[in-house]
Amino acid sequence: MPRICDYEGSRYRTDFWEGQNRHYEDGVERVAMQKLLPPGGRRLIEVGAGFGRLADLYQGYQQVVLTDYAQTQLEEARAYLGEDERFIYVVADLYRMPFGDNLFDTLTMVRVMHHLANVPAALTELHRIMVPNGTAIIEHASKFHLKSLFRWFLRRQGWNPFDPEPVEFVELNFDFHPAWMRRQFQSSGFQIQNCRTVSHYRLNLLKRFVRTSWLVKLDSWAQPTGNWWQLTPSLFLQAQVQKPPASVPPTFFRCPVCFSVELSLPEPDLKRDAVIACRSCGRGWSYKNGIYDFKTPVIAPD
C-alpha cells in the first residue's frame, strides 16, 4: 500500500488556518471552487475534508459526504458544522474507499493531492466511486511556477521545475508538473474541462501591505488564465468522469478490505454506537458519535 499522510491528532485548523494569516489563501480557493463547482446535485463527496472549512459551499446538494483519514479531523468538523442531517462523516483510506461504484455525482478534493504518493491509484479509486459524466474539482500543488523557476535559474533549488516527474520536497509533500498531472487525469478516465490558476499573489510582503479583499479580487481576475498557462503554485482542475453508463443501481457502503457490498447497516443514531459487519470477510466497522470509521476494523457481532 502507498505511504499515507496522517493528520490524526493534529491541530490543523488552528496551527495552519485560523490566526495564521491565511485569509488570502482561503479566499482565492473559495473563488475557484465557486466558479468550478456545479451549483447543486444529489450527492457530493469531499475527500480530505479536514475540519470542514469548505463545507458551507455545498448548500445546493441533498447529501454531502465528508471523508478524511484522520478521525480527529472529522470530530472537529462535526463540532464546527453543527447538526445538519445532510452531512455524513466517514473515516476512510483514499486508496480503499468504503463506497460502492457510481455513487457520487460531484467530488471535491483540495489540499490533498500533494500528500499522495501514488496519484494514478488515487485517481482510479475516485473515478470508480463517481457516476458517469460526474464532475470532479481537484486541486494540486504545481512545481512549475514563477518562484520555483526563479529559484532554479539562480541555483537556489536542487530540483528542476521543467522535469515532468513529481518532486517530494519534504516527506509525503509533493509538487507536480501540470503536464504530468494532465496525463494522469486522462489515463484515469477524467477529461479536464477547466483549469484555474490560484494564489498568484502568495507573497508575505503583499499580504502584509495590501488589503486581503483586493488581493482576492485580483487573483479572481487572473484565475481563468489557467486554461492557457499555469505559473502559480496551486491549480484547480474541473474534470468530467468518462465511463460507460451504469447498469447496476449503486450501493452506498462496501467493505474496504474484501470489497463486498454485503454489509449489515444498522440505522444511524447519534445517541447509539453500532458496528457494521461485513458478511463476506467477517470484519466490523464502527459507527460512533455520528462518524463511520472504515479505517480501523473492530470485532463484528455474531
Confidence check: pLDDT of 280 > 90: yes
Confidence check: pLDDT of 301 > 80: no
Determine the Cα–Cα distance for residues 161 and 192; give it in Å rounded to an integer: 22
pLDDT score for 249? 83
Q: Mind listing the pLDDT tens digit for each residue in 154-175?
A: 999 999 999 999 999 999 999 9
Average pLDDT over residues 259-287: 91
pLDDT score for 71? 97
Confidence check: pLDDT of 27 > 80: yes
Identify the residue whose cell numbers are 463486498. Answer: 260
Q: Mind listing the pLDDT tens digit for each residue in 184-205?
A: 999 999 999 999 999 999 999 9
Partners of residue 167 on adjacent β-strands:
175
pLDDT score for 201? 96
Confidence check: pLDDT of 271 > 80: no
Under the banding of pLDDT at 50, 70 and 90, the label for residue 247 is confident
Fold of 12-251: Rossmann fold (3.40.50)
pLDDT score for 248? 83
Higher-pLDDT residue of 282 and 247 is: 282
Where are the domains positioned within the chain? 12-251, 253-302
